[in-house]
Each structure stands twice: as C-alpha cells, then as structure tokens.
Amino acid sequence: NAGVTQTPKFRVLKTGQSMTLLCAQDMNHEYMYWYRQDPGMGLRLIHYSVGEGTTAKGEVPDGYNVSRLKKQNFLLGLESAAPSQTSVYFCASSYRGNEQFFGPGTRLTVL
Amino acid sequence: AQSVTQPDIHITVSEGASLELRCNYSYGATPYLFWYVQSPGQGLQLLLKYFSGDTLVQGIKGFEAEFKRSQSSFNLRKPSVHWSDAAEYFCAVGSGYSTLTFGKGTMLLVSP
C-alpha cells in the first residue's frame, strides 16, 4: 500500500517549457488535490477533483491545468512555465472531505 | 469564507518543556479541524483531527488538541517536547465535504 505517490521528485524547467506532474493514490479515494507550498505562504490549493472526470479551481489556479481521467490519478500541467511557478508541489487525496493524505512533494525550479 | 490563523511564525522551546501552538479559525458551521506536521523535505502527516464529540482529542506522537468553540480555537499541546518534534506545524479547517483551508504554519525549534 503505497498511499500517495508523486512523479517526478525534482524538476528544473526553462521559462516557457511545459511539463506534467503525476499523482497516484491506491486508497480508492474520491477526492484529490494539488497544492503549492511557498515559504511563509503555507499551502495554497491550485485545483481539486471530487471524482473521476471532474475538476474544480482552487485558490491559485492561473497557469495550471489538471485532468482526472482515472480515479487513482490526478495530473497537474504547466503549459508555459514561469519563474513564479517555482515551488514545491504537493498532491493529496481524501475520502470525501475528511483528512487528507499527502504525497512526498515535487520540487520544481523554473529558470 | 473559512480561514485559519496561526499567530506564531516561529516558536522555540527547550527540550523537555511543554508546548502549545495556537490556531484560530473562522468558519460558519461546525468545523472539521486538523493538525498536520511537516518535517524538512517531507510531505504533511496528520497528527490529529476533530470532527465532533469530546473536545479534547488525542493524536500521534503524544500530541493533543482542544476545540474551544467559544474562542474559535484549536490549540495543539504536548507536555514534554523532544528534539525530534522540531518541524513545521499546520492547522486546517474544513466542512468535511470538500476542501481544507490551511494556516500559514508555525515552525517549531527545539533547543537543547
């Protein structure tokens, strides 16, 4: 039982490049979330999903897109990376809106 | 809109001393409340949660928290801090049906 896993763990991009972060969970959770964490800002919700095929915007959605084609996977895309998107990205999942289980994070640097 | 305030950005506690981390929330209904801990370079781990019932909840690693509706608070406590407790602590509030709102975190430093 791996819980929540994130791929990759680290990534360096140049401004304007695109990439996709993958989150996978094996707990059969309905809800999945993408956060970014920046120093002094806590966790800010980017997008979330309450079920397969559904997505919704969070607090800071601009510059990101998501897809939930399978219940166990939640993808976060950056179409044209900017230095302001340098951050640590966390994925989480939960059974409905209860306690969230977090992945280990992806550290992204945009040059 | 719901919100969470953690008034202390940093706290330093001597090893063996007691600890209290403050959390105040704003929420229109009965809240679901959580405390998470994050060690450097790691994801967040749930320490404890409050949904209903007894207002004093016990968590892992010897932590407890007390829900005080009149004060809109959910403070985290530990009677004796260990060096391994040094980490960042996040309080969160939600409805139980959707998203959580996190506080900005309190960094705990433990001195010898």
In single-letter form, the type of residue at position B87 comes to: A
**Can you give the pLDDT at residue A100?**
92
C-alpha dihedral over A22, A27, A30, A31, to 10 degrees?
-60
Task: Dump pLDDT digits (tens) for B15-64.
Answer: 999 999 999 999 877 889 999 999 998 999 999 999 888 899 999 999 99
Are the CB atoms for A94 and A37 separated by under 8 Å? no
Task: Dump pLDDT digits (tens) for A63-96.
Answer: 999 999 999 999 999 999 999 999 999 999 998 7
Query: What gap in Å lies between CA A106 and CA B96, rounded to an integer?
Result: 27
Task: Dump pLDDT digits (tens) for A52-63.
Answer: 999 999 999 999
Written as one string, the DSSP assignment of B34-76 is: EEEEE-TTS-EEEEEEE-SS-SEEE-GGG-EEEEEGGGTEEEE
* Contacting residues of B for A34, CB less than 8 Å apart: none
* Contacting residues of A for B51, CB less than 8 Å apart: 98
Written as one string, the DSSP assignment of chain A is: ---EEEE-SEEEE-TT--EEEEEEESS--SEEEEEEEETTTEEEEEEEESSTT--EE-SS-TT-EEE-SSTTEEEEEESS--GGG-EEEEEEEESTTS-EEE---EEEEE-
Question: What residues of A are in the B interface, CB distance below 8 Å?
Answer: 4, 31, 33, 40-43, 45, 48, 50, 58, 90, 92, 96-105
CA distance B83 to chain A (A): 22
CA distance A12 to chain B (A): 17
**Can you give the pLDDT at residue B66?**
96
For A58, which of B41, B96, B99 is closest by C-beta distance? B99
Q: Mark yes or no for CB contact B44/A90 under 8 Å.
A: yes
- Distance linking the first and last C-alpha atoms of chain A: 36
**Can you give the pLDDT at residue B53?**
85
Query: What gap in Å lies between CA B81 and CA B20, rounded to an integer?
Result: 10
The pLDDT confidence band at residue A109, using thresholds 50, 70 and 90, is: very high
Question: What residues of B are in the A interface, CB distance below 8 Å?
Answer: 9, 32, 34, 36, 41-46, 49, 51, 90, 94-100, 102-105
